Copies of this chain bind each other. A is one copy, B any other.
Amino acid sequence: MDNMTIDKNRAVPPEEYADLRKALTLISGKWKLEILWLLYHRTHRFGELRKTIPGITQHMLTRQLRELEADGLVTRTVFAEVPPRVEYSMTEATKALEPTIMALMAWWQQFGKAAQGGTQPEE
């Protein structure tokens, strides 16, 4: 496919739609975007993420990080030190995702927000 737009003459492409679903799944965790957001700034330690993200528990943070790691969206580095230290950082895939994330946010701010302005833009 040489053109990044939807082919109006063809029926639904099931496999590509599946890809789309999977891509969404990767970032669908409740805290994943916020974690990635922090990692866009810099590498964080586990405790830093925990303190910075309001409302998250160790358990959830661990789970979300494990999933992100399995999906190649974060890198986990363990330091064999006396007080355990684990650092999480973004990957190439994470970096490549940033423009899309920002585009999604911009889209919401322009269209979604208005639509939710009361379920009806104006009357």
A residues adjacent to B (C-beta < 8 A):
1, 4-6, 8, 11-12, 14, 16-17, 19-24, 26-28, 33-34, 37-38, 40-42, 52-54, 70-73, 92-93, 96-116, 119, 121
Cross-interface CB contact of A71 among B72, B99, B116, cutoff 8 Å = B116
Given A28-B24, A71-B116, A112-B71, is A4 in contact with B37 using a C-beta cutoff of 8 Å?
A: no
Copy tally for this chain in the complex stands at 2
A97: which B residues are within 8 A, CB to CB? 107, 111
Q: Is the interface of A mostly helix, strand, loop or mixed?
A: helix
Cross-interface CB contact of A99 among B40, B41, B103, cutoff 8 Å = B103
Given contacts A1-B106, A12-B38, A21-B33, 12 further A-B contacts (CB under 8 A): A6-B40, A12-B37, A12-B53, A19-B105, A20-B37, A22-B108, A71-B112, A72-B111, A92-B111, A96-B110, A96-B111, A97-B111
